[in-house]
């Protein structure tokens, strides 16, 4: 006992101490979950005071972990937007579901390394199973292959690298110089603009992203899409990939996927669907029909940390051409375990060392069942319908025709959306944002929490009335 060093007691506290500390952490978290709905959604933060407090932390003078945990919990309570709050109607940042929280705890403690199959057979196979299940739920023809990513942006980046490698095998060795012209990709003007960063990262350059005109509701115009591709070919460019968005970030609009699929087929281009948050609609029998056309995609992005409500850090890239995905990311080294490369996640994805992100979706899906997820999703779209009707009754105009639970609306009295949103945010009872939807400033309210109730929706309607006065 005498020779157990102090540092070891911190990194690996023994039995009883560990249990006491963990119980303390769990008690704190329980308190947070039980009282979150009573907190201000977006407490005001004094940035200078915050930085000063953190500057005062003296890392030469270690503090007990229990004390630190308590301090961090209090700081978080007062210093962030509580995106998990039932009256947070902002972007698609749901509270994390309980099975997902449990999964992340297990993952953090056991900490498997998913780079190679032979080091993590069970985790790798669990992830593969979940990817296949997601593909099946979406209606993709089997076999569906893919992997977990940190989120939608990484999955979309992966899709572009895959498309570039499929279209021109020399891309693997020579990069963009392997192409006889400038490779181009096509997405709508309402798509998620990480595409610009992705084009930059891939070496294509941001000018490679063609933002195609949409209709007045924000859905890509397939005729303009086809024209843009033809014009680019005539100019000596090389079209590579078309992106359909199933659930735009601003307005939840779903591009006409069958029309885009037809253009992709006629133009012989990779068809990617970005269903980062809309993809969850696959679990709702009522909403699934709106995703028609997604089954024709060569690859699909779905974020588990959006509408599937698992803790942050879980996206998925699904694809049908497993060999092409392996070719895109294949590598051999002298130091990695050999023999299972076809199944090794590091040989078919961007990441190398890999966290067990898939467990949170596995546990959630297995505990809820597909139908449980469907009911959760229908509950949220039902609340969105309640909100839509309430807005209309109170003389707001709903602008976006979507079955998904995000509502873009404007006032009829010349109310400036940014001013109304700012007033409402400052008042503190709820949080919504101002956004731009097909060029028009709007207020944007999204049902993003599975804990939001009808009362919360009615409260938002009242707060909106107050904020416009």
* Closest CB 152 distance from ligand PLP, rounded Å: 2
Stretch that binds ligand PLP, among 167-175, 273-281, 386-394, 417-425 (CB under 6 A): 273-281
Stretch that binds ligand PLP, among 58-66, 213-221, 271-279, 393-401 (CB under 6 A): 271-279
> Between residues 192 and 210, which has the closer beta carbon with respect to ligand PLP?
192
Q: Are strands 183-188 and 238-245 parallel, antiparallel or unpaired?
A: parallel
Of 83, 101, 249, 449, the one binding ligand PLP (CB under 6 A) is 249
Rounded Cα–Cα distance for residues 45 and 81 (Å): 10
Cβ burial, residue 171 (10 Å; 0-12/13-18/19+): buried
Taking residue 19's Cβ as centre, other Cβ atoms within 10 Å add up to 11
* Closest CB 57 distance from ligand PLP, rounded Å: 30
Q: How many residues bind ligand PLP (CB under 6 A)?
A: 13
Q: Are strands 270-274 and 209-212 parallel, antiparallel or unpaired?
A: unpaired
Report how far Cα 92 is from the mean position of its chain's Cα atoms.
8
* Closest CB 195 distance from ligand PLP, rounded Å: 9
> Between residues 148 and 171, which has the closer beta carbon with respect to ligand PLP?
148
* Closest CB 153 distance from ligand PLP, rounded Å: 3
* β-pair partners for 442: 435
Of 135, 146, 151, 345, the one binding ligand PLP (CB under 6 A) is 151
Using rule CB under 6 A, residue 254 touches ligand PLP: no
DSSP calls for 101-118: HHHHHHHHHH----SSGG
> Between residues 214 and 245, which has the closer beta carbon with respect to ligand PLP?
245
Report how far Cα 122 is from the mean position of its chain's Cα atoms.
25
The pattern of x and - marking residues 184 through 203 that bind ligand PLP according to CB under 6 A reads --------x-x---------
Of 42, 144, 153, 325, the one binding ligand PLP (CB under 6 A) is 153
Q: Are strands 299-303 and 238-245 parallel, antiparallel or unpaired?
A: unpaired
CA angle 443, 448, 452 (to 5 degrees): 100
DSSP 253: -
The pattern of x and - marking residues 218 through 247 that bind ligand PLP according to CB under 6 A reads ---------------------------x--
Query: Cβ contacts of residue 109 below 8 Å, gap of 6+?
Result: none
Of 274, 298, 344, 456, the one binding ligand PLP (CB under 6 A) is 274
> Between residues 127 and 255, which has the closer beta carbon with respect to ligand PLP?
255
* Closest CB 245 distance from ligand PLP, rounded Å: 6
Query: In what helix (H) or strand (E) does residue 70 lie, and over which residues does it extend?
Result: helix 65-78
Stretch that binds ligand PLP, among 223-231, 270-278, 321-329, 420-428 (CB under 6 A): 270-278
Using rule CB under 6 A, residue 179 touches ligand PLP: no
Using rule CB under 6 A, residue 90 touches ligand PLP: no
DSSP calls for 194-248: HHHHHHHHTTS-GGGEEEE-B-TTS-B-HHHHHHHHHHHHHTT-EEEEEEEEBS-
Q: Which residue bears the tokens 């999964």?
A: 103
DSSP 180: S
* Closest CB 207 distance from ligand PLP, rounded Å: 20
Taking residue 50's Cβ as centre, other Cβ atoms within 10 Å add up to 13
Question: Which parts of 313-372 interact with ligand PLP (CB under 6 A)?
Answer: 315
Q: Which of these, 287, 280, 282, 286, lies nearest to 307 by C-alpha position?
A: 280
* Closest CB 314 distance from ligand PLP, rounded Å: 9
List contacts with ligand PLP (CB under 6 A). Answer: 151-153, 156, 192, 194, 245, 249, 274, 276-277, 303, 315
């Amino acid at each position: 006992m005498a020779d157990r060093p102090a540092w070891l007691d911190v990194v690996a506290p023994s039995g009883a101490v560990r249990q006491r500390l963990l119980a303390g952490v769990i008690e704190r978290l329980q308190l947070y979950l039980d009282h979150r709905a009573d907190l201000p959604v977006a407490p005001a933060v004094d940035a200078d005071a915050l930085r000063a407090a953190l500057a005062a932390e003296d890392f030469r003078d270690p503090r007990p972990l229990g004390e630190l945990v308590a301090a961090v919990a209090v700081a978080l309570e007062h210093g962030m937007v509580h995106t998990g709050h039932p009256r947070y109607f902002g972007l698609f940042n749901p509270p994390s579901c309980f099975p997902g929280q449990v999964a992340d705890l297990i993952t953090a403690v056991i900490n498997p390394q998913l780079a190679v199959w032979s080091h993590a057979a069970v985790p790798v196979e669990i992830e593969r199973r979940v990817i296949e299940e997601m593909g099946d739920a979406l209606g993709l023809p089997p076999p569906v292959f893919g992997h977990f990513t940190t989120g939608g942006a990484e999955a979309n980046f992966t899709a572009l690298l895959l498309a570039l490698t499929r279209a021109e095998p020399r891309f693997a060795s020579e990069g963009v110089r392997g192409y006889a012209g400038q490779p181009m990709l096509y997405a709508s003007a309402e798509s998620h603009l990480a595409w610009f960063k992705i084009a930059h990262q891939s070496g294509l350059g941001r000018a490679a992203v063609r933002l195609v005109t949409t209709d007045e509701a924000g859905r890509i115009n397939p005729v303009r899409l086809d024209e843009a591709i033809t014009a680019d070919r005539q100019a000596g460019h090389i079209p590579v990939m078309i992106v359909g968005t199933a659930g735009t970030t601003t307005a939840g609009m779903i591009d006409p996927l069958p029309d885009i699929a037809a253009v992709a087929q006629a133009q012989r281009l990779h068809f990617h669907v970005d269903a980062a948050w809309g993809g969850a609609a696959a679990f709702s029998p009522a909403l699934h029909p709106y995703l028609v056309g997604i089954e024709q995609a060569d690859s699909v992005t779905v974020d588990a940390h959006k509408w599937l409500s698992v803790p942050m850090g879980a996206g998925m890239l699904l694809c049908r051409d497993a060999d092409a995905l392996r070719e895109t990311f294949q590598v051999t080294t002298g130091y990695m375990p050999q023999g299972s490369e076809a199944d090794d996640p590091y040989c078919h994805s961007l990441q190398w060392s890999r966290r067990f992100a898939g467990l949170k979706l596995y546990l959630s899906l297995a505990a809820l069942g597909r139908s449980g997820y469907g009911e959760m999703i229908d509950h949220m779209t039902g609340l969105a319908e309640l909100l839509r009707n309430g807005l209309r009754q109170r003389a707001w105009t709903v602008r976006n025709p979507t079955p998904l639970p995000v509502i873009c609306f404007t006032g009829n009295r010349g109310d400036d959306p940014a001013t109304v949103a700012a007033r409402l945010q400052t008042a503190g009872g709820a949080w919504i944002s101002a956004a731009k939807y097909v060029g028009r400033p709007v207020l944007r309210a999204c049902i993003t929490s599975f804990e939001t109730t009808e009362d919360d929706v009615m409260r938002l309607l009242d707060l909106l009335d107050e904020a416009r006065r």
